[in-house]
Amino acid sequence: MINPILNRLKNNSGMALTASTMFIFIVLSIMAFYLARFAILDSASAANYIQNIRARNLVQTGLQVGLLKIENSYSSLGSAISGKLNKGSYNVLVDNNKDEKNSNLKYNHYSLLKSSSEIGGISRSARLIVSSYPNAFNLALFSKNQGNGTFSSNSSNSISGDLFFNGAISSVSMASNSVAYSSVESSSSPIVFHGFPLPSLPTLDHSTYTTLLNSVTGQFNSSNSSGQSGTSSRTVWNPNGGHCNVCKDDGDSNNRYACTNGYGGWSNSHSFNDFVPSGSTVNKITIRFKGATPCGGTWNIAPSVNGQVINSESWYGSRCSCNSCAVKDVVSANHTNGFPSYKYGASNSLTFSHSGARTCIGYVQVIIAHSASSTPGVGENETINLSNYSNKTLMHDGDLTLTGCNITGPGYVLASGNIIISGNTSIGGGVKIFSKKSIEINGSSTIGSSLTSYCTLYGTLGLNIKGSKAFGLFISSGSLLSLTNSTISGAVFSEASENTLSNITLNGSIVTKNNLSLTSSSIIKNSLPDLFGVNTGFKPSIIPGSYLEF
């Protein structure tokens, strides 16, 4: 019984088949094991891949939410916004100073729009660089050249940073690493065709400024008043005619007289020098006639000072006897802002227009009621703190002239007329100066002190800066932009038909609707005032190519 089993064990036939079968089994088992493992890993990868796509979509959704927010209100992203979507969450915020690597942003007016998302354990982040200015301000110079002129900039000028001119450029002098782009396809070196689409002129919402300017009422009265309040009088005519005395000698009269029929030497024209205290404002003028009453009837008298009728009066009487003294006053209306036509510090004319009964006059006095005051709309050598004004707004309905003043903000200076600032005037940061006409600044004035302490100027009809140092945003929507002998840091925007830069150093960017003329000037692309959270009428833009996932 045992032997057949041993014999079979000793028999080697079928060994090879068995071994190979085992080997194949083992190999197949190993392959099956790895195949199963690969299948598991692949499904995990596929799941991760899908989640990754969802996270990327969500991070872009966050950016989109951020862009919509800053389009309408740039300051609305001052603090982060979070949201949930598709079983994930996103977080979007604006950083004004640092990029995603915590490095400083290239320019002051750039901001980082950063979005983060997390979905199914997958996190993604992305960012955009946004500018608080429209795209054209990313250039050193942009000109829409609406009038189809030719841009020419000789070697006396230098432009550091790219420029775009919508038309032909005849000559240009560019710094290294700066490109002059033109809309002309056949442009040749050093001018480069920009390619399509061409950059567009930014749209400015003027209502930001016109709404405020249309609300201007009242007058600016300087706190530095001068002159005196009171009444001053002067005898301007003391005739010495007639055959008898009229009024008693009271120090003003010499007793004698003249009559309207010519007797005694009557005259309808007289003059007198300004006699009110210097700096005073003439409010009311009284012409006093002292003499006998009219000779039987009514005397109609209308005296005028420098052609301005004081008033018309009638004087009835029947007594024109000697030693008969009476008084007739002709009084003007009260003029708070000064009697029209009165000449300060000069000779004034006094004329009579009269009719009716004959009258004899002993003397004529001019009596002036005056007040200590300032000239409305004029400020000289004074400190103007806008926080002392209602709504921090200095308003003047008319032309406003500020000479040698120190204006501290923040706040507004608004005028319905021209604004002229001169004489080493200093304007602090945060001051916004808007004019319904033109703004002219000269006399070594200082506007703002840095790109973070800057001013905003808006001239509806024009902007003219001469010999000054300025930081801020400068807008001319009228017919003229003229910058001369000045150093300007910031953004210049002009819709004017005539743009002139002469002996100017502009650190920032200039954008014009029409051609511009450069003479001995430097334009250096640089930081602009950060308008984050400020409504200037411009819409923010995305810096092209700034999208990055990290």
* Residue selected from 20, 21, 261, 353 as contacting other proteins according to rule CB under 8 A: 261
Which single residue is written with the structure tokens 């950059």?
199
Range in contact with other proteins (rule: CB under 8 A) among 277-285, 315-323, 327-335, 441-449: 315-323
Please state the closest distance from residue 358 (CB atom) to other proteins, in A. Answer: 6
Name the strand (E) or helix (H) holding 9. helix 2-10
Is residue 259 a contact residue for other proteins (CB under 8 A)?
yes
* Residue selected from 320, 368, 491, 516 as contacting other proteins according to rule CB under 8 A: 320
Question: In this structure, what token pair is assigned to residue 483?
Answer: 């910058």
Range in contact with other proteins (rule: CB under 8 A) among 161-169, 353-361, 395-403, 408-416: 353-361
Range in contact with other proteins (rule: CB under 8 A) among 17-25, 26-34, 322-330, 512-520: 322-330
Burial of 33 (0-12, 13-18, 19+ CB in 10 A): exposed
CA separation, residue 286 to residues 282, 338, 371, 480 (Å): 11, 14, 15, 47
Range in contact with other proteins (rule: CB under 8 A) among 27-35, 108-116, 289-297, 469-477: 289-297
* Residue selected from 28, 44, 244, 333 as contacting other proteins according to rule CB under 8 A: 244
* Residue selected from 76, 298, 349, 446 as contacting other proteins according to rule CB under 8 A: 298
Is residue 321 a contact residue for other proteins (CB under 8 A)?
yes
Q: How far apart are CA 388 and CA 458, in angstroms?
A: 22
Is residue 301 a contact residue for other proteins (CB under 8 A)?
no
Please state the closest distance from residue 234 (CB atom) to other proteins, in A. Answer: 24
Is residue 318 a contact residue for other proteins (CB under 8 A)?
yes
Is residue 248 a contact residue for other proteins (CB under 8 A)?
no
CB neighbour list of residue 105: distance below 8 Å, 6 or more residues apart: 96, 97, 98, 99, 111, 112, 129
Which single residue is written with the structure tokens 């005898």?
235
Residue 128 region by backbone torsions, left for phi larger than 0, else alpha for psi between -120 and 50, else beta: beta
Range in contact with other proteins (rule: CB under 8 A) among 229-237, 239-247, 373-381, 462-470: 239-247
Range in contact with other proteins (rule: CB under 8 A) among 57-65, 95-103, 237-245, 524-532: 237-245
Range in contact with other proteins (rule: CB under 8 A) among 105-113, 258-266, 422-430, 495-503: 258-266
Mind giving me the DSSP string for 506-527? EEEEEEESS--EEES-EEEE--
Q: How far apart are CA 353 and CA 350, in angstroms?
A: 10
Name the strand (E) or helix (H) holding 282. strand 280-291
Please state the closest distance from residue 278 (CB atom) to other proteins, in A. Answer: 40
465 - beta bridge partners? 441, 483
Strands 297-305 and 308-309: antiparallel
Question: In this structure, what token pair is assigned to residue 134?
Answer: 């429209």
Q: How far apart are CA 481 and CA 514, in angstroms?
A: 11
CB neighbours of residue 114 within 10 Å = 25
Is residue 326 a contact residue for other proteins (CB under 8 A)?
no
CA separation, residue 339 to residues 336, 365, 530 (Å): 8, 17, 48
Is residue 78 a contact residue for other proteins (CB under 8 A)?
no
Q: Is the CB of 239 or the CB of 537 nearer to other proteins?
A: 239
Is residue 327 a contact residue for other proteins (CB under 8 A)?
no
- Report DSSP state, residue 543: P
* Residue selected from 257, 299, 363, 434 as contacting other proteins according to rule CB under 8 A: 257
Range in contact with other proteins (rule: CB under 8 A) among 120-128, 281-289, 314-322, 503-511: 314-322
* Residue selected from 247, 276, 287, 357 as contacting other proteins according to rule CB under 8 A: 357
* Residue selected from 301, 360, 447, 451 as contacting other proteins according to rule CB under 8 A: 360
* Residue selected from 88, 227, 242, 490 as contacting other proteins according to rule CB under 8 A: 242
CB 414 within 8 Å of CB 396: yes
* Residue selected from 141, 159, 216, 295 as contacting other proteins according to rule CB under 8 A: 295
Please state the closest distance from residue 316 (CB atom) to other proteins, in A. Answer: 8
Mind giving me the DSSP string for 205-258? -THHHHHHHTT--S----S--BS--EEEEEEEE---BSSS--S---SS--S-BE
Q: Is the CB of 242 or the CB of 448 nearer to other proteins?
A: 242
Is residue 243 a contact residue for other proteins (CB under 8 A)?
yes
Sign of CA dihedral 234, 236, 240, 243: negative
Q: Is the CB of 142 or the CB of 299 nearer to other proteins?
A: 299
* Residue selected from 297, 423, 443, 533 as contacting other proteins according to rule CB under 8 A: 297
Q: Write out the residues near other proteins by the rule CB under 8 A.
A: 242-244, 246, 257, 259, 261, 263, 292, 295-298, 316, 318-324, 357-358, 360
